[in-house]
Amino acid sequence: MGFVGPNGAGKTTTLRILAGIFPPSGGRASLGGVDLVRDPVGAKRRLGFVPDTPELFAHLTVAEHLELAGRLHGVEDRDARAERLLRELEIDDRRDHLPDSLSRGMRQKVAIAWAFLHAPDVLLLDEPLSGLDPIGIRTAKAAIRARADAGSAVIISSHQLELVEAMCDSILIIARGRALARAPIRELKDRVREDATLEDVFFQVTGGAGPESAPSEPPSELPSDPDAP
Amino acid sequence: MSRAGALGFLVRRRLANRLRSAREKLRRPKYLIGAILVGLYFGMMVFARIASELVRVPRLATGAPPAVGGTAGAALAAVSPAEAPAAVSSTGPLLALALELGFPVALFLLALWAWAPVGSGPRIHPLGFEKADAHLLFPAPLARWSLLAYRMAAIQIPLLLSSFLFGFVVRRGGTLASVAGFQVFLNVLWLHRVSAALAHGVPSEAALWRRALAWAPGVLLAAGFAALVMTANLDPTALAGADPVAEVRRASESGLMPWVLLPFSAIAQTVAARDGPILGHGSAFLVALAILGMHIVWLVAVRTPFQETCLTSAELRDEVRSAIRKGRFRPGFLKNRGRPVRTRPFGLAPRGTATMAFAWKAILAGGRTWTPGYLVLALIGAGVSGRVVGALDLGVPPWFVPILVGVVAAMIPANLLLSPSREGIGTIDTMALLRPLPVRGHSVVGGIVLGETAVGLVWLTLIAAFGVGWGAALLPPGELGRLAAIVAASLVPAAAVMLLATSLRASIVLLLPTVGRVEIGPEAIGSNFLAMIVRSLGLSVLGGPVAVAALAGGVLVGVIAGMPAGWIGAGAAATLVLLLESVGLVLLGGRFYDRFDITAERL
């Protein structure tokens, strides 16, 4: 699912709540049916999270990052999985490098590998492709798609609407902390007009570009989300 | 268990890789020589310690733990080892009292400050989690207890280094007991700050019992403070009498004070431990460890928004670090960040030639501290220092020294400590932006030097204007013209002082650019140690003539005040040296810039 909204809409905050970093100020937050407040550890076992501009441990090599991820999640065959992931994301030649010697794109790939290693049920990806070169974007997109095909629930937050359109089946649009629309992308586009792009849908739903101009209520002709935060 | 193992793996591998990086750094001569120097220094200290043990002369009480007064002190003393020396000081009753009472009181006030429900200070440090911890570990299936244990384990080695530093270097002749004492002390201090910070993070909409539990330690501290104030039994007559120290001691041993200060006294005792085995000060250690345990239990039990506070703190810390490095950190930085920049008076903006543009940039940067509040502080500083120095008999008119010293004293802190202190480094830090501009190096460096000097002069003019205003109000009419002449003449030493300050800073940046870099780690201690020595030598060469010029400028002012006319030549010569050096500095710095010897990467 794509997760989009204007700057300041609350996307990163929402993802941080779902990642158990921020406490929800109201309502419920759960992952795979497990309540994040009542059983945070149980909920996080199902989670893989890639934050925006992820930071890595400065004194841990790439391979050690994945070793740590495997240990934290109790993955038995972590070495084999790490090896596969390093090859899949094309960073196997950097396994013994420290983050300082990696480019931004490489660090992003390590963060993605960290989130994928334990094959989580839920993947929260905040701008997962930022900093990647075209080859890296293709590689990462394929890797994300593969996880979704394998049954993981994937939520991608991004400002790149083309990317969201290409990768996601459905979309959630928020503004000012409120869900404005949640539906399959095709359905939303059809409701706007026959040849509409996701960008057209976005502007139609949010009513403009900035958080100030976003409507406080979802447009009536578009499907809204009653369970949204 | 597997997660504890994972976090152990993280701590272990981080340490191992840090050591590996340090080893690789030692291949560079700068670090190697520095490490050898530091090794020799510490080796000599240890050798001196062993030698002193071999020829040990029995000492009385130089390292004895400070006594805790009253019944509480007796309670602690009752379980202390019998061989612990008594608290007798050969350094005088005042110092002894300061050790016994001052440290616990200072700790108490610090604790009270950290728990005060105002201010943002403690927010910067909860747990010292880095962004990487927040991004990678917080979403992992780890309980709060595991995260806390991980951070505690991770900081023990840095704390141990600090403890050794305090135990062996600051308190020369200290033993392992002293080091262990500092280790406990620093852990308690650290956890206390974390607890206070997390209490600040409790949301107002949280349940009442949660808020009450979170703030309970703070309430206890406040109650203790109230008890201290209400039961303080100081006799003003005795305080003004022959032995005020005895009166303070008597008051400290009566009422509730010994009980309120008991935990703080115990912590103080662990730090004061110097002689005897590690647990020689058993009762104090036990109390201190109990306090440590209470902090841990509190942190685990109170359901404050732990991760959110820590992530926010990590982000704030990054901002502060970045601001310090760029010379943009000011008092109230956290409070004022994000606010729009104040409108500049008279539409000031960088304009003119490149040199003048950079000079303007420095002036405008300095303007960020030109606030009414600081001006008041500067004037108070001027008045106080002027009064103090003016009381001395220096053979000049009585109103001359107060005004001169006051003006210069008010100017120095404004420029050296607050205003554009690292603006020059900040400019060089933006080399990536400057490089593509068609600007020669001497324009950039000249602008830095000119700008920083000009900022000082602007400040001085402001203060001088106030000085003249005061003088007009206070002096007889006939003296006013003389006063104005002297204030104007004081611009000469002021400019010299500013050029001196600029010269010192610029020489550090231009000649030893790597000195400005903040490096952390044992391997960097040696390198920084070496850099300090080299820098001192460099400054003595570079700064010498400037210092002479500054002194001569001061003498020049004295000439106007009626000193021998022969000093005018000396002042002029010194000023010439100063100008030549400034020009040389600008040209030298410009060459470095043009030859790419100064880069943002090197800084």
CATH number, residue A33 = 3.40.50.300
* DSSP state letter for B100: I
Q: Which helix H or strand E contains A178, and what residues bound it?
A: strand A178-184
Q: Between vectors from CA B561 to CA B558 and to CA B563, what angle results, nearest 5°?
A: 60
Pick the residue from chain B with its C-alpha nearest to A122.
B139
Residue A182 DSSP symbol: E
Contact B9 A67 (CB under 8 A): yes
Distance of residue B259 Cα from the nearest chain A Cα, in angstroms: 39
Most confident of A44-48, B40-44, B239-243: A44-48
CB pairs under 8 A between A and B: 93
- The answer to whether the Cβ–Cβ distance between A56 and B132 falls below 8 Å is yes
Q: What is the pLDDT of residues B528-556, one digit of tens each?
A: 555 555 555 555 555 555 556 556 665 65
- Which residue did the predictor score with more confidence, B33 or B121? B33
**What is the mean predicted confidence (pLDDT) over B177-185?**
78
**pLDDT band of A155, cuts 50, 70, 90:** very high
What's the rounded Cα separation, in Å, for the pair A226 and B109?
A: 52
Chain B nearest-CA distance from A88, in A, is 21
- Give residue A80's pLDDT: 92
- Please name the member of A23, A44, A68 whose beta carbon is closest to the beta carbon of B6: A68
**Whether B142 and A44 lie within 8 Å, measured CB to CB:** yes
Select from A78, A21, A88 the least CA-distant residue to A52.
Answer: A21
What's the pLDDT tens digit per position in B314-335?
Answer: 777 777 777 665 556 655 666 6
Dihedral of CA atoms B72, B77, B80, B81 in degrees, nearest 10, equals: 180
Q: Is B564 helix (H, G, I), strand (E, B) or coil?
A: coil
A8: chain B residues, CB-CB within 8 Å: none
Interface subset of A 97-116, CB within 8 angstroms of B: 98, 111, 114
Mean residue pLDDT across chain A: 84
- Residue A114: inside a domain, yes or no? yes
pLDDT tens, position by position, B68-122: 444 444 444 443 433 434 444 444 566 666 667 777 888 888 888 777 765 544 4
Cα A175 from Cα B79, distance rounded (Å)? 64
Least confident of B207-211, B375-379, B450-454: B375-379
Contacts of A57 in chain B (CB under 8 A): 10, 14, 130, 132, 136
* Nearest residue on chain A to B17, alpha-carbon basis: A59
On chain B, the residues whose CB falls within 8 A of the CB of A56 are: 132, 136
Query: Residues of chain B with pLDDT > 70: what percent?
Result: 37
The β-bridge partners of A31 are A34
Within 8 A of A74 by CB-CB distance, chain B residues are 2-3
Query: Could you give the C-alpha distances from A171 to A31, A150, A217, B23, in angstroms and in order?
Result: 18, 20, 17, 51
More confident residue, B8 or A224: B8
Q: Do A20 and B17 touch (CB under 8 A)?
A: no
Answer whether residue A15 is part of any domain. yes
Cβ-defined contact of A59 to B3 (cutoff 8 Å): no
The pLDDT score that the predictor gives to residue A217 is 53
- Helix, strand, or coil here: B215? helix
Residue of A nearest to B14 (CA): A59
Question: Closest to B2 (Cβ–Cβ): which among A42, A64, A74?
Answer: A74
Of B168, B170, B176, B158, whose CA–CA distance to B44 is shortest?
B168
Give me the residue from A23, A58, A64 closest to B308, CB to CB.
Answer: A23
**Pair type for strands A122-126 and A2-4:** unpaired
ipTM over 0.90 threshold: no
User: Which of A47, A56, A72 is the closest to B3 by Cβ?
Assistant: A72
Contact A58 B132 (CB under 8 A): yes
pLDDT digits (tens, 9 = 90+) for B263-289: 888 777 777 655 554 444 566 777 778
Name the residue among B10, B14, B139 with its Cβ closest to that of A21.
Answer: B139
Contact flag A74-B134 (C-beta cutoff 8 Å)? no
B520 CB-contact burial (10 Å; exposed 0-12 / middle 13-18 / buried 19+) = exposed
Mean pLDDT of A172-197: 84
Looking at the DSSP bridge assignments, the partners of residue A174 are A179
Pairing of strands A153-157, A30-31: unpaired
- Range 37-96 of A in CB contact (< 8 A) with B: 40-42, 44-45, 47, 49, 51, 54-61, 64-65, 67-69, 71-74
Across A49-63, A98-112, B206-220, B447-461, least confident range: B447-461
Q: How far A98 CA sits from the closest chain B CA (Å)?
A: 9
CB under 8 A, 24+ apart: contacts of B390-398: B396/B558, B396/B561, B396/B562, B396/B563, B397/B561, B397/B562
Kindly report the nearest CA distance between residue A219 and chain B, in angstroms. Answer: 31
How many angstroms away from the CA of A19 is the closest CA of chain B? 5
Number of domains chain A contains: 1
Which chain A residues contact residue B205 at CB under 8 A?
25
What's the rounded Cα separation, in Å, for the pair A192 and A168? 18
CB contact under 8 A, B17 and A61: yes
Closest CA to B105 of B97, B94, B115: B97
pLDDT of B38 over the 60 cut: yes
* Mean pLDDT score of chain B: 64
- Residue A185 C-alpha, separation from nearest chain B C-alpha, in angstroms: 29
Cβ atoms of B526 and B36 closer than 8 Å = yes
- pLDDT score recorded for residue B178: 74
What pLDDT, on a 0 to 100 scale, did the predictor assign at position A156? 92
Nearest alpha carbon to residue B1 among A45, A115, A72, A120: A72
Residue A223 lies in a domain: no
Question: Is the CB of A60 less than 8 angstroms away from the CB of B14?
Answer: yes
Q: What percent of chain B has pLDDT over 90?
A: 0
Bigger pLDDT: B298 vs B204? B298
Q: What is the pLDDT of residue B62?
A: 41
Q: Is A31 a domain residue?
A: yes
Of residues A29 and B232, more confidence is placed in: A29
**Do residues B525 and B38 touch, judged by C-beta distance below 8 A?**
yes
- Burial string for B426-442 (b: 16+ CB within 10 Å, else e) reads bbbbebeebeeeebebb
The pLDDT score that the predictor gives to residue B121 is 46
Q: In terms of Cα–Cα distance, which of B569, B599, B571, B567 is closest to B493?
A: B571
Is residue B451 within 8 Å of B362, Cβ to Cβ?
yes
Chain A closest-CA separation from residue B207 CA (Å) = 12
- Residue of chain B nearest A73, judged by CA positions: B141
In a domain, A208, yes or no: no
Give the closest-approach CA distance of B595 to chain A in angstroms.
26
| C-beta of residue B3 within 8 angstroms of C-beta of residue B141 | yes
For residue B366, is pLDDT > 60? no
Domain assignment of residue A12, yes or no: yes
How much is the pLDDT for A154? 92
Residues B302 and B215: beta-carbon distance below 8 Å: no
Could you tell me which residue, B577 or B39, shows the higher pLDDT? B39
Is A74 within 8 Å of B132 when comparing Cβ atoms? Answer: no
10 Å CB burial of residue B301 (0-12, 13-18, 19+) is exposed
Which residues between 302 and 361 in chain B have a beta carbon less than 8 angstroms from any beta carbon of chain A?
305, 307-308, 311
User: Nearest-CA distance from B143 to chain A in Å?
Assistant: 6
B 125-154 residues with CB < 8 A to A:
130-132, 134-143
Q: Which residues of B touch A64 (CB under 8 A)?
A: 13, 17
Q: Do B132 and A57 touch (CB under 8 A)?
A: yes
Nearest to A73 among B18, B21, B141 (CB): B141
Please choose, from the candidates B495, B493, B511, the residue with its C-alpha nearest in 3D space to the C-alpha of residue B445: B511
Task: Establish if B532 touches chain A: CB-CB under 8 angstroms.
Answer: no
**Which is it for the CA torsion B519, B523, B529, B530, positive or negative?**
negative
Greatest mean pLDDT among A150-154, B338-342, B530-534: A150-154
- The answer as to whether A64 is a domain residue is yes
Contact present, A50 and A115 (Cβ < 8 Å): yes
CA dihedral over B285, B287, B290, B296, signed as positive or negative: negative
Q: In this structure, what token pair is assigned to residue B228?
A: 């201290």
The alpha carbon of residue B344 is apart from the nearest alpha carbon of chain A, in Å, by 29
Contacts of B518 in chain A (CB under 8 A): none
Question: What is the Cα–Cα distance from B75 to B183, expressed in whole angstroms?
Answer: 24
Nearest Cα of chain A lies from the Cα of B4 at a distance, in angstroms, of 8
Higher pLDDT, B416 or B200: B200
Assess if residue A55 is contained within a domain.
yes
Task: Dump pLDDT digits (tens) for B425-472.
Answer: 455 555 555 556 666 777 777 776 676 666 666 666 666 665 655 555
Q: Where residue B566 falls among pLDDT bands split at 50, 70, 90?
A: low
Angle at B73 between CA B71 and CA B76, to 5 degrees: 115
Give me the residue from B14, B139, B203 closest to A59, CB to CB: B14
Q: Where are the alpha helices (DSSP H) in chain A?
A: 11-18, 40-44, 62-72, 78-88, 104-116, 134-149, 161-167, 185-192, 198-206
Say which range, A149-158, B231-240, B520-529, has the weakest mean pLDDT.
B520-529
pLDDT confidence bin for B345, thresholds 50/70/90: very low
Q: pTM for this one? A: 0.64
Instruction: Yes or no: say if A2 and A167 are a contact pair by the CB < 8 Å rule.
Output: yes
Which 8-state DSSP code applies to residue B379?
A: H
pLDDT over threshold 90, residue B37: no
Q: Which of B53-62, B251-260, B414-423 has the highest mean pLDDT?
A: B251-260
Residues 4-23, chain B: which have Cβ within 8 Å of A? 5-6, 9-10, 13-15, 17-18, 21
Give the domain range for residue A77: 2-168
Burial of A82 (0-12, 13-18, 19+ CB in 10 A): buried
- Cβ of A56 within 8 Å of Cβ of B21? The answer is no
